[in-house]
Chains A and B, each alone.
Chain A
Amino acid sequence: MDEVLAVSRLSAGYRGRPVVRGIGLSLGRGDILGLLGANGSGKSTLLRAITGQIPLIDGSVTIDGIDLADAPERAKAGFGLAIEPHELPAPLSGRQYLELVASIRGCAPDDLPGGDLLERLALGRWIDRPIAEYSLGTRAKLSIVAALLGQPPLLIFDETLNGFDPVAAWEAKRVIAELCASGRHAVIVSTHVVEAVPALCNRAVLMADGSLSRSWDAAQLTEASSVPGAFEESVMQALRTQAAA
């Protein structure tokens, strides 16, 4: 099955009030989707709905062929979410956290792609210290490593790549690109770093007011990235148009 994620007519929100409405999205193996949008546009709410953290008001989410509402535990085995850094269990050490996630996923704590990922992300000297002592960037690195444990078919990064140092950002992007090039994984990267999207992603969508307002396919992204600043310009124009409407 090539489709890793299928989102159909999705509406979701908080306390019965929809924040995102009528979302339709499909992701195949090899896709790297850049999720863009202003603050409050609904990016995180959409990702929370896809990962089963908030109930769906309408529509459906299917992950690797399994409906999230019908079999939530089996569906959740199909994705790895990079948890927000402040949500990580602060008392545990990095190694203990990886062992916790690995024990849930039923894999070894070193079942990671890309060789020695801990060393590539410069996590080695922190791994036996409590997460409470980590900086924001180190927490984000650990969060990404945990998402990659067991190499699930769908990987979701909600603004996790934003706080990285240049080397870690480069390594993380290389790992993501290698995973998708293998043709077994799909990735969603939610980010405010617009200029990073054409270089990393082969698809992009822009969210505004809780719905998908614009999308770019691989050809459009390639074309936009050939002219410096063209993609940012098109995103800004879309945001301005949305704000004026």
Chain B
Amino acid sequence: MLWRELVAGLRAMRRRDLAWIALGGGGLLAYAIADIVVALHAAAEGLRNDQVLWMLGLPIALVVLGCLAGNAISRLCLSRAFAPFLKALPLASAERRRMAGAGIFALGLPLTLVTAMSVGFACSVIGKPLAPAWGLGAAILFASGFGAAALWRLRQPRRLLDEAGGEAAPRGRPLLRRLDRARPRWLASWAWKLPGGHMRPSWKLAAACLLLATAAILGASASLAGRTAGPAAVAGLMGGILVFMLSLRCQPLGSPVLRTAPIGFTRVWLRLVQLPLQLSLAFFLLPAGAALAAEPAAWSVPAASGLWLLVLNGAYAVFGAYFLNAPFVAMLSFASALAYASYETFEYGRTVLIGLVALVFFLCHRTRQRYRNG
């Protein structure tokens, strides 16, 4: 099914777009590989002898990567194996899980091979002895993380189905009734998929709040203890953008409810950004206040941090609107674009940032066009 979806998706694209993706993507990939090889060559000596990297950093990274990939691919395969249109067919739950398992294996195997080849190739580039063995080890670590996550998902397929089908509302007054009154009303409740405007407590929400609160308190404490504004300002900036990225949802932008209504793209987009921006700035205030209290003379540090937060939030709001149905892809793309622009800036100077700004404007233009013309 996934293969057919991919083929149908490719067939639905125009040849010109396919050519752009193949040539542009291929060119970028070749450039990225060349760049990485050059960087690895330059840092070969240090990398070869970094024991912490080889004994701890790389294994942990590979297992975590495997877990994330296994979790995502299992969800994808289970959602197809338990698709609503298959409900009427005489397929037992065990049979559906077997189908999902086969799909997970078929997708996981090439990913493991790519991981093994990448690590083996990187080891040979930096002259690390036993490069094939390191590649094999990387594949085992990646596969163990991937397999553990996949098995966990396969043993509890109901968890996935309950998540998808749990839209029934609790009773009572909607939590966001005061915050969600601006025109168009109830847009944030819709974007956040709050049934009837009610917030449902969940362990994910609790864990995210706890982590963010801990980060804010640690940053503020570090600043107050060291009498320096830096740590709290950085914590405020990083936490603020994280809150914004986690809370921004833009899928209503693709709905005909809004696209056929007398309301323009910019107004809807700004309305969708409004509440996540308020949350982001609310988070920022505690560390920024601590930074100011720790070093009042350095007021420009939290001020600059706040300005950067606004700029980054604005840029991410464009990515979020462009990838409106895939917030995780939006986060990944934004983080990759930022990381790549920062890396290239060291090499080519700040002109690279102009490219990032151009990308943001291009995505904004495309999103607006899609809202207007489908």
Contact residues of A between 110 and 154, Cβ < 8 Å to B: 128-130, 132-133
- CB-CB under 8 A from B14, the residues of chain A are 15-16
27 residue pairs from A and B, CB less than 8 Å apart: A15-B14, A52-B259, A53-B259, A53-B374, A54-B373, A72-B372, A73-B262, A77-B262, A81-B260, A84-B256, A87-B255, A87-B256, A91-B167, A91-B195, A92-B197, A93-B169, A96-B185, A100-B185, A100-B257, A103-B185, A104-B258, A104-B261, A104-B263, A105-B261, A129-B169, A130-B167, A130-B195
Which residues of A come within 8 Å of B, CB atoms?
Answer: 15-16, 48, 51-55, 72-74, 76-77, 79, 81, 83-84, 87-93, 96-97, 99-105, 128-130, 132-133
- A100 proximity list for chain B (CB < 8 A): 184-187, 190, 257
**CB closest residue in chain A, given B183:** A103
- A129 cross-chain contacts in B, Cβ below 8 A: 169, 196
State the majority secondary structure of interface residues on B.
loop
Q: Are A92 and B262 within 8 A (Cβ)?
A: no
Residues of B within 8 A of A101 (CB): 257, 261
New A-B contacts (12) at CB < 8 Å, excluding given A81-B256, A132-B168: A52-B260, A54-B373, A72-B264, A87-B256, A91-B190, A93-B169, A93-B197, A96-B189, A97-B186, A100-B186, A100-B257, A102-B185
Residues of chain B at interface, number, CB under 8 A: 33
Contacts of A79 in B (CB 8 A): 260
Interface residues of B in 323-374 (CB under 8 A from A): 372-374
Determine if A99 and B195 form an interchain contact, defined as CB atoms under 8 angstroms apart. no
Given contacts A54-B373, A73-B262, A101-B261, contact A133 B168 (CB under 8 A): yes
Q: Is A96 touching B196 in the complex (CB atoms < 8 A)?
A: yes
Bound-state CA distance A105–B262 (Å) is: 7
**Cβ contact within 8 Å between B196 and A52:** no
A130 to B168, CA, bound (A): 7
Cβ of B58 to closest chain A Cβ, rounded Å? 42
Q: Is the CB of B196 within 8 A of A93?
A: yes
